[in-house]
Amino acid sequence: MKIHEYQAIDLFRKYHVPVTQGVVVEKLQDGENAVNELADKYDVSSFVVKAQVHAGGRGKAGGVKLARDRQTALQHLSNILGMELSTKQTGSASVTVRKVLVTEAVDIAREFYVAITLDRSAAKNVIITSTEGGTEIEEIAKNQPEKIIKEWIDPLIGPRDYQLRRLCGIFGLDKSLTYQLKDILRKIYQLYLDTDASIVEINPLVLTKDDRLIAIDAKINFDDNALYRQKDIARLRDIGEENPAEVEAGKYNLNYIKLDGTIGCMVNGAGLAMATMDIIKIKGGNPANFLDVGGGATPETVKNGFKIILSDKNVKSVLVNIFGGIVRCDRIANGILDAVKELSLDIPIVIRLEGTNADVAAEIIKNSGISVIAASSFADAAEKAVAAANN
Amino acid sequence: MSILLNKESRIIVQGITGQEGSFHAAQCHEYGNNVVGGVTPGKGGQRALNGAVPIFDSVREAKKETGANVSVIFVPPFAAADAILEAADADIGLIVCITEGIPVKDMMIIKNYLKTKTSRLIGPNCPGVITPGEAKAGIIPGSIVKKGAIGIISRSGTLTYEAVHQIGAAGYGQSTCIGIGGDPIIGSSMADLLLLFEDDAETEAVLIIGEIGGSMEIESAELVQEKISKPVFAFIAGSTAPPGRRMGHAGAIITQADETAAAKKNVLKEKGVHIIDSPADMGAVITNVLH
């Protein structure tokens, strides 16, 4: 799960990690009061106005602006709030900016990169520091790998002081600042553990001209599997940042991801669902979605699956690919046919059922009197779905 | 011969009185007739599988009374980490965890702790292990597999069944099929199991079913070049998956360039693995190379 920068900053504050003061604005008419309050309460005269969206790369897309006075801050605010932001991460699509964070601007002497994330193959968390703050870490890793320090943390022991010394040593700070930075690393590691985070990233953590260390950016993602025990974190979810069809699918416990193509896919199992998308592409089509209806594929999940798939108006045909194991194909076939009938679907639907009792299922579909396209194999199903979408 | 599981395996099921646990324990017992007990804390002394096997309060007790050497775990995510550690502390040789949804933090601790133990863990978030004609520890349908010479190592569930089906239609069978799990941190990696298949006299070739996310396929590619003499085939799911999105499995997400299907296929191919581009060609490619 992702959260907004301002929410991540609030969590930092809770863990006594130094951050900038700021206000969140959702309605333009509240902007003036908010900026004035920030300016008066904390004696702020320069501002940074930042779009709050879940996609990264906002700065380059024009979603972050510096203002040297209140008037300019308000001007930026009115430009950014409601704007359509296309970043490197959103691709050709864009996201609407629904919230804007206005913070104090600080005088920056140096910018550092600090992060904690999971290293899957090591099965350990890794703390990463780099002198090249403000740049994307992937860029630094590619072009200047010597400017990155990594320390892998044993989950049964926790970060050792020598590891933190090495991580902070790269910055060449004096003793007092090094001590402060080690303290910040310890605190964000604790935050990471306590909240079941999957990444905590500060880019940049800055050294100000008056020698203070401050996180002026904050990104935290969380492990979805742990949300059941992270009730406070789960409440930070902002559904407005997510695709409405995906949110709807979640209510039915379906795993749906919207894509740009024209062929809807309904599959049981995540791996087979990905493979189905892949074969559609191989056969010259484009998948409209990823949809895993679960191993069992019950009549209920199949029906909900059709509803979600067809909420996407780009869909020209649907490919149903179900492998029946313990749940027999004849039962699944009846479930699919009932759903097609009940929803009176009028779009070409290609059905491929394989596994236990697949031959019985094929007979049921053939004799149903319902106009669906039966496929004899995985490849045949993809070809028929592509042909139907192109008609 | 086979790997991990055979006729002699003595299986217990942790969570045998739950809905999933009782159903699949019965299926495993029907297949191999070697489920010897179950564990549900608080229900020790009762019996499961229509009275066929005893229930114990703890894994330690179950092992002592039944001589179990395999445990299959069907407990909910919040209790699964504890169940794995309990089985490991009782020195159960093979632990198969079917449960989906265990937090990464818990798995990280388990994975590091298991380095100090003798147990091997398969999963979590997996369909388990089946050795056709001998034994099953998990949920892979017994009706679709048949005895043969292809070993299967897969990060997926139903895509494994698809592979089994295609291999069967092509006239081959399987020595052992292993669903290793779709989570970011899992007990046994592809490389771990490739080594076991290499040493198994019955296995002639191995099919790997990988997917986007992580570096397990690339690590196994290095191993294939150095230590595996048998033909290895690979299909990697998710060529069309967008970066940054989690495709169903918690571990199926592209966060960096070397985690894409294309990047993995390139490395595997370079190291001598036979790449299967279309998921419909798994049986055909294996036939072409082996016949």
pLDDT digits (tens, 9 = 90+) for B195-213: 999 999 999 999 999 999 9
**Domain B11-122 classified CATH 3.40.50.720?**
yes
Mutate to test the interface with B, among A278, A320, A329, A330 (most CBs of B within 10 A): A278
Q: Is the pLDDT of residue B171 over 80?
A: yes
pLDDT one-digit tens code per residue, A190-239: 999 999 999 999 999 999 999 999 999 999 999 999 999 999 999 999 99
The residue type of B31 is Y
Q: What is the pLDDT of residue A139?
A: 86
pLDDT one-digit tens code per residue, B66-94: 999 999 999 999 999 999 999 999 999 99
- Calpha distance A14→B188 (Å, rounded): 38
Q: Which residues of B touch A136 (CB under 8 A)?
A: none
Q: Is the pLDDT of residue A89 over 80?
A: no
DSSP, collapsed to helix, strand or coil, labels residue A381 as: helix
Q: What is the pLDDT of residue B256?
A: 87
- Calpha distance B211→A200 (Å, rounded): 26
Residue of B nearest to A125 (CA): B108
Alpha helices (runs of H) in B145-250, residue ranges in sequence order:
158-169, 190-199, 216-227
Q: Is the pLDDT of residue A375 over 90?
A: yes
Helix (H) or strand (E) holding A331: helix A329-342
The proportion of chain B whose per-residue pLDDT surpasses 90, expressed as a percent, equals 97
Query: Who has greater pLDDT, B51 or A91?
Result: B51
Handedness of CA A129, A131, A134, A140 (dihedral sign): negative
- Classify domain B145-290 by CATH architecture: 3-Layer(aba) Sandwich (3.40)
Select from B63, B85, B67, B65 the least CA-distant residue to B75.
B85
Looking at chain B, which residues constitute the CATH 3.40.50.261 domain(s)?
Answer: 145-290
Q: What is the pLDDT of residue A324?
A: 85
- Sorted by sequence, the CB contacts under 8 Å of residue A174 that are 6+ apart come out as none
Question: What residues of B are labeled active site?
Answer: 249
pLDDT one-digit tens code per residue, B8-65: 999 999 999 999 999 999 999 999 999 999 999 999 999 999 999 999 999 999 999 9
Looking at chain B, which residues constitute the CATH 3.40.50.720 domain(s)?
Answer: 11-122
Interchain pair B239, A281: CB under 8 A:
yes
Q: Is A30 on the interface with B (CB under 8 A)?
A: no
Q: Which residues of B touch A376 (CB under 8 A)?
A: none
Interchain pair B162, A228: CB under 8 A:
no
Q: Is the pLDDT of residue A332 over 90?
A: no
Q: What is the pLDDT of residue A91?
A: 64
- What is the band of A137 on the pLDDT scale with cuts at 50, 70, 90? confident
- Calpha distance A241→A53 (Å, rounded): 7
pLDDT one-digit tens code per residue, B104-124: 999 999 999 999 999 999 999
- What is the band of A86 on the pLDDT scale with cuts at 50, 70, 90? confident
Q: Is the pLDDT of residue A90 over 90?
A: no
- Sorted by sequence, the CB contacts under 8 Å of residue A56 that are 6+ apart come out as A87, A88, A89, A219
Q: Is the pLDDT of residue A135 over 90?
A: no
Question: What residues of A are labeled active site?
Answer: 113, 201
pTM assigned to the model: 0.94
Location of structure tokens 């869909």: A315
Q: Is the pLDDT of residue A93 over 80?
A: no
Burial class (CB in 10 A: 0-12, 13-18, 19+), B289: exposed
Q: Is the pLDDT of residue B1 over 80?
A: no
Residue of A nearest to B237 (CA): A275
Looking at this predicted complex, what is its ipTM?
Answer: 0.95
Bridging pattern class, strands A100-104 and A47-51 = antiparallel
Q: Is A279 on the interface with B (CB under 8 A)?
A: yes
